Amino acid sequence: MRKIIRKKRRCSYGLLYVLLFIIGMMMVVVTPTVAANHVEERPQAGAKWEEVRVEKGDTLWGIAQRYRRPRQDVRLLVSLIQEANGLKPSELIYPGQILLVPIE
């Protein structure tokens, strides 16, 4: 009886590995598709930019929420602000700092 139980367990682990492989492959296929959809939302090269002075208590997220277009993903705007101002994801902003923010 023990041999039968062990075979069932090996079978279930094999199935688990196959499922994990399929999920991993789905992530590889879906991730570039999602990223490609966000590229379309980026402003064109001729976009208008506004200089924004950082006030005490401001965050990139808060600034992005104030200046985003309707239905625009705030995360995308945060990354655009970081890119335009040469900010690294972990870099802090300070009161008095001037940031370029796309407005169109």
Q: Which DSSP category does 94 fall into?
A: -
SS3 53: strand
Domain with 5, as residue range(s), is 1-40
pLDDT at 38: 47
| 34 and 60 together in one domain | no
Query: What is the value of pTM for the model shown?
Result: 0.55
Residues in CB range of 15: below 8 A, 6 or more apart: none
What pLDDT does 99 receive? 94
pLDDT tens-digit readout, 22-52: 888 777 776 665 554 444 444 456 678 999 9
Tell whether 30 and 58 lie within a shared domain. no
Compute the distance between CA of residue 97 and CA of residue 51 in angstroms, rounded to an integer.
Answer: 10
Whether 54 and 84 map to the same domain: the answer is yes
Q: For 65-94, what is the mean pLDDT?
A: 91
CATH number at residue 77: 3.10.350.10
Q: Are residues 55 and 35 in the same domain?
A: no
